[in-house]
Amino acid sequence: MSMNISSNFFNSMLGTSSSNSSSGLMGLLSDYNSIRNGSYLKLAKHYYSNDSAKKATQKQFSKSNIETKTEDTATKTASEDAWKDLKTLKDEKLYQSADTDKIQKNVKSFVSNYNSVMESAQNSDKSGVLKDASRLASQTGNYTSALAKIGIMVKSDNTLAFDEEAFASADMSDVKKLFAGDFSFGSNTQSRMLQLASDASANSSSVFYNQYGAVAGASVGSFYDSLF
pLDDT at 218 over 70: no
- Domain map (residue ranges) of the chain: 44-227
- For 95-117, what is each residue's pLDDT tens digit? 998 789 999 999 999 999 999 99
DSSP letter (8 states) at residue 166 = H
C-alpha torsion sign, points 21, 24, 28, 29 = positive
Helix, strand, coil % over all residues of the chain, rounded to 5: 75, 5, 20
pLDDT at 223 over 90: no
In the chain, the percentage of residues whose pLDDT exceeds 70 is 58
**Mean per-residue pLDDT over the chain, rounded:** 75
Q: What's the confidence (pLDDT) of residue 98? A: 79
Total-model pTM: 0.63
Coil, strand or helix at 223: helix
C-alpha torsion sign, points 73, 75, 78, 79 = negative
Coil, strand or helix at 13: helix
| pLDDT, mean of residues 193-221 | 58
pLDDT at 164 over 90: yes
| pLDDT, mean of residues 139-144 | 98
Q: Per-residue DSSP letters for 183-195?
A: TSHHHHHHHHHHH
Q: State the chain's maximal CA–CA distance in angstroms.
A: 116
Q: What's the confidence (pLDDT) of residue 159? A: 97
What's the gap between Cα 17 and its chain centre?
62
In sequence order, what are the beta bridge partners of 162? 152
pLDDT grade for 26, boundaries at 50, 70 and 90: low
pLDDT grade for 51, boundaries at 50, 70 and 90: low
